[in-house]
Amino acid sequence: MGRGRLSGGAEMKTLVTLILTIALLIPSSASAAKADKAAGTLLIHVKTLLDCSSDRTRLVPPLIAAALKKGHRVVLLFDADGVQSLKMGRWFGGHSTPLDRVKISRPDRQRLAALLGTTSDGTPDIYGSLLHFLKGKGVAVYVNKRALLRRGIDHDHFDHVAEAVEEERIVELLAG
């Protein structure tokens, strides 16, 4: 028994379909490779205080979440006046930071949840807790050790979600 053959026209259509399918798959693979190369490290350099009076407090977390969603490695560096965002205490010492005293609005939580792939209820409702949550998602958090000292914040009085680093490490972060 011989192999059944298609008519000349049907054979040609099958061949063209096969070639077109292969041609469509090759650019898709190349695009995926370019996307993998594009997903690098994003450094977010916080140089101003994040607290209840700053709109920046609401802008930084969605940027981090969007970068994580795109597959980027995120590095968050608190520097200059931004180190005050991590300062513990208030009038009577306390164990909270300015970020711990800012609630996340319901719409902002829903937006963050969508970016992070979680539920709104699974997303923290305070920015200080959100910082710890994001660190758990892989965000590297650093604080300029010298800036802490210049603001009078000693080793025991800042949120250790951030690792205090010297100038050499900061240069590496900024150059990378």
Q: For residue range 58-67, what is the model confidence (pLDDT) as tens digits?
A: 999 999 999 9
Percent of the chain with pLDDT over 90: 69
For residue 93, which phi and psi values (nearest 5 degrees)? 90, -80
Higher per-residue pLDDT: 4 or 66:
66
Burial class of residue 61 (count of CB atoms within 10 Å of its CB; 0-12, 13-18, 19+): buried
For residues 28-41, give the mean pLDDT. 51
pLDDT at 95 (0 to 100) = 84
Backbone angles phi, psi at 27, to 5 degrees: -65, -35
Statement: residue 40 has pLDDT above 50 = yes
Q: What is the mean pLDDT of residues 52-79?
A: 95
Global pTM? 0.76
Across the chain, mean pLDDT equals 83
Tens-digit pLDDT profile for residues 14-26:
444 434 334 444 4
Segment 97-154, tens digit of pLDDT? 999 999 999 999 999 999 999 999 999 999 999 999 999 999 999 999 999 999 999 9
Answer for the pair 173, 144: CB distance below 8 angstroms, yes or no. no
Integer Cα distance of 87 and 97 in angstroms: 5
Alpha-carbon Rg for the chain in angstroms: 25
Q: What is the pLDDT of residue 38?
A: 53
